[in-house]
Structure 1
Amino acid sequence: MNTQQQALPTAIRECADAVAATASGIRGDQLGERTPCEKFTVAELLDHLGGTLTSSARAARKEPRPDEAAASDMSPASVAESANRAAAAWGDPGAYEGTTEFGPGEMPAGFAATVTLEELALHGWDLARATGRTFAISEEAGRATLGAVEQIAEQARIRGSYGPPVPVPAGAPAFHRALGASGRNPEWAG
């Protein structure tokens, strides 16, 4: 594991815990709310994140991809469980070795972990903001998230997953800089 990857297991666990806490508090009447991730409502984001985290746990364990995609209808409780399973899977040092199938195809396992952290942190924050919760992570997890976002930002913008960078003061917390680098406004309010 390289230096950046050494921070991943702890940051993934911390963000997974924050996602689980956020998801567990989402009420049924909040599922139609808009999120900072413009293409998703709360319900759609739960489906996306839960499916991604299920795939992430499988990728960390180097399990083959299922032949067909399972229907995704994730409840807040199942997203919390998926976050915990993904963090547990990425807690194994062997998960970072070699390659794995994740997302669009085969990739280095360490990069799949980077994408997992980015998904947990950014979409966890999206869910928290949309539902009036706080998404608090340490400065260390924020720095790891910033590193992950910076690593994938160019490709994410090309694919339309990130918007143009939002200016954030250089002295802002690392997580706020990660949000800005992903095209999110850290001050977003629905």
Structure 2
Amino acid sequence: MNATQHSTLHPAIRECAEAVAATASGIREEQLQDRTPCEKFTVAELVDHLGGTLLSAARAARREAQPGEDSAAPAMTPQALADSAGRAAAAWSDPAAYDGTTEFGPGEMPASLAASITLHELALHGWDLAQATGRSFDLSQETERAAVGVVEQLAEQARGNGSYGPPVPVPSDAPAFHRALGISGRNPAWNG
């Protein structure tokens, strides 16, 4: 059992999932076509992307088969996103979920990496949605540190596949989560 990964990642996944659910619950219909700090997504597109990713993350934690590429999933609503965030957090609450390998995203990977990607998606895209819809996305210092850790872990690969833009400089005394945002190519001061 990978107790260290679970004790570090699960509280952060749970906290970010709660923040995503709160953000999603406040999205108004007229905000769905607004831009987000993640330049390739509108609010509606990001709700759909994140919701689908979190459903896959829950399946990965439970070692369930992922749907085939040709199976069309229904478009996510903000409420469905909130539900999928809760499902992902619940699935990663099992310490055994962090052991061995699982199927997630592009294929099979270490389960602890799938958990890291889940936190990365929740933290960064949760912040994107909050910024785009005028909501706060407040995290504890422990969760901010966990988020920085996974963003640093994934940065080289994410920059290589176009998921991250060039790093954005942030002051050395900035909150930990601002450093994570900057590493991922996001401007912590983004304001539409």
| TM-score, normalised with respect to structure 2 | 0.96
Name the counterpart of 1:56: 57
- Runs of 4+ in structure 1 deviating by more than 4 angstroms, as ranges, are 2-5
What amino acid sits opposite 1:124 in the alignment?
G
Check conservation: 2:5, 2:112, Cα contact below 8 A: no
Residue 129 of structure 1 is aligned with which of 114, 119, 131? 131
Residue 162 of structure 1 is aligned with which of 142, 155, 164? 164
Structure-2 change in CA distance of 1:172 and 1:3 (3 Å)? farther
Unaligned runs of 5+ in 2: none
What amino acid sits opposite 1:71 in the alignment?
A
Check conservation: 1:50, 1:74, Cα contact below 8 A: yes
Q: What is the CA RMSD across the aligned residues, in angstroms?
A: 1.1
| Residue correspondence of structure 1 range 100-179 to structure 2 within 5 A | 100-179=102-181
Matched, 1:96 2:80: no
Aligned residues: 190
- State the secondary structure of the residue aligned to 2:163: coil
How far residue 143 of structure 1 moved from its aligned partner, in angstroms, is 0.3
Name the counterpart of 1:11: 12
- The percent of aligned pairs where both chains have the same amino acid is 71
Check conservation: 1:143, 1:174, Cα contact below 8 A: yes
Check conservation: 2:6, 2:95, Cα contact below 8 A: no
How far residue 172 of structure 1 moved from its aligned partner, in angstroms, is 1.1
Q: Once the two structures are superposed, what CA deviation does each residue of 1:72-102 show, in whole Å capped at 9, x if it has no partner?
A: 4100000000000000000000100110000
Unaligned runs of 5+ in 1: none
Structure-2 change in CA distance of 1:182 and 1:88 (3 Å)? same
> What is the distance in 2 between the residues matched to 1:58 and 1:70?
16
Which deviates further from its counterpart, 176-185 or 58-67?
58-67
How far residue 65 of structure 1 moved from its aligned partner, in angstroms, is 1.5
